Amino acid sequence: MNLQNYIRDISNFPKEGILFKDITPLLAEPKALRETIRQLADRFKDSGATKILGAEARGFIFGAALACEMGVGFIPVRKPGKLPHKTLTATYKLEYGTDTLCMHADALRAGEKILIIDDVLATGGTIGGILQLTSQVGAEITGIGFLMELSFLNGREKMLGHRVESLITF
């Protein structure tokens, strides 16, 4: 199954000059969504991860489903003010601004093996924020996975030294 057939282009979103890759058609097609999770699970089956981190919001979709498939825990990484317990925070740059992510301070332990999952690798800012969070507790990153990668934005360069897998590359 060619997953790229389920990605729709939206011009000038979220601002003028951006070509947004919309995953809504993929999420709406059960076979495509199942195939996405199967391919990610196959790529990371030997990672040794005990938990998956997924960034708000689309990273929740793929990360939680993959955690169920792999039989590991899931940790949501959220925007500020969304988590009810003590949090760690990281602020990072995006291709069109800055953002902040938070994670419960007790969600990870030092040395724990973590797989990071998100929908798209663009500039690498979001994953850079997650890497900041995981380094605050000393977790070990066993892999970073994406449905798609916008290779022309060179986000992979921010993850040197980490195993990075993308199912689709634009």
The predicted pLDDT at position 28 comes to 98
pLDDT in tens, 100-154: 999 999 999 999 999 999 999 998 999 999 999 999 999 999 999 999 999 999 9
Which is catalytic among the residues 34, 38, 95, 109?
95
Cβ–Cβ < 8 Å for 13, 20: yes
Q: Number of folded domains in the chain?
A: 1
137 in helix, strand or coil?
helix
Asked if 58 is an active-site residue, the reply is yes
In a domain, 75, yes or no: yes
Q: Which residue range forms the structural domain that includes residue 137?
A: 45-169
In a domain, 6, yes or no: no
Percent of the chain residues past pLDDT 90, beyond the cut: 92
In a domain, 29, yes or no: no
Asked if 43 is an active-site residue, the reply is no
160 vs 166: CA distance, rounded Å? 15
